[in-house]
């Protein structure tokens, strides 16, 4: 379960930003998670609740998850397409010379503090 490590990293980053901005509490964090990132949102949410319960600044902090769609680029026909729907083989030309351009990442999008 790598979600716990991800939560610890994100929580540390958020707490540092809150401290730098003299915020008393963090009310909400919006995360963008790639559709094929291997992060399981329900596991992440469970870890998030547990981690936030251990921090005064983060206690009760809401976690909002937004999904970044997975998109693949074909080097042969220069088209992009949905990775989940079609996989590695380009639906336009049938080429296997493709690569993922988005959908494997995770990042903090917003932090709400007060």
Per this entry, what is the length of the chain?
114
pTM score: 0.89
Q: Are 28 and 62 in contact (CB under 8 A)?
A: yes
- pLDDT one-digit tens code per residue, 1-13: 689 999 999 999 9
- Candidate CATH numbers 3.90.230.10, 3.30.2320.80, 1.10.10.60, 3.30.420.40; the one for domain 3-113: 3.30.2320.80
| Cα torsion through 18, 24, 27, 33, rounded to 10 | 20
- pLDDT one-digit tens code per residue, 36-70: 999 999 999 999 999 999 999 999 999 999 999 99
Each domain of the chain, given as residue ranges in start order, spans 3-113
Contact partners, residue 28, CB within 8 Å, separation at least 6: 61, 62, 63, 64, 110, 111, 112
Average pLDDT, rounded, for the chain? 97
Question: Distance between CA atoms of 45 and 86, rounded to whole angstroms?
Answer: 29
- Strand-strand pairing, 26-34 and 62-68: parallel
Q: Are 19 and 60 in contact (CB under 8 A)?
A: no
């Amino acid at each position: 379960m790598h979600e716990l490590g991800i939560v610890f990293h994100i929580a540390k980053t958020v707490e540092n930003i809150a401290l730098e901005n003299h915020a008393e509490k963090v009310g909400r964090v919006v995360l963008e998670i790639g559709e094929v990132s291997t992060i399981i949102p329900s596991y992440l949410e469970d870890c998030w609740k547990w981690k936030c319960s251990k921090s005064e600044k983060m206690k009760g902090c809401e976690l909002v998850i937004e999904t970044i769609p997975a998109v693949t680029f074909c080097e042969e026909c220069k088209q992009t397409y949905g990775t989940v729907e079609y996989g590695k083989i380009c639906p336009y030309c049938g080429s296997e010379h493709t690569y993922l351009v988005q959908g494997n990442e995770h990042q903090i999008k917003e932090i709400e503090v007060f």
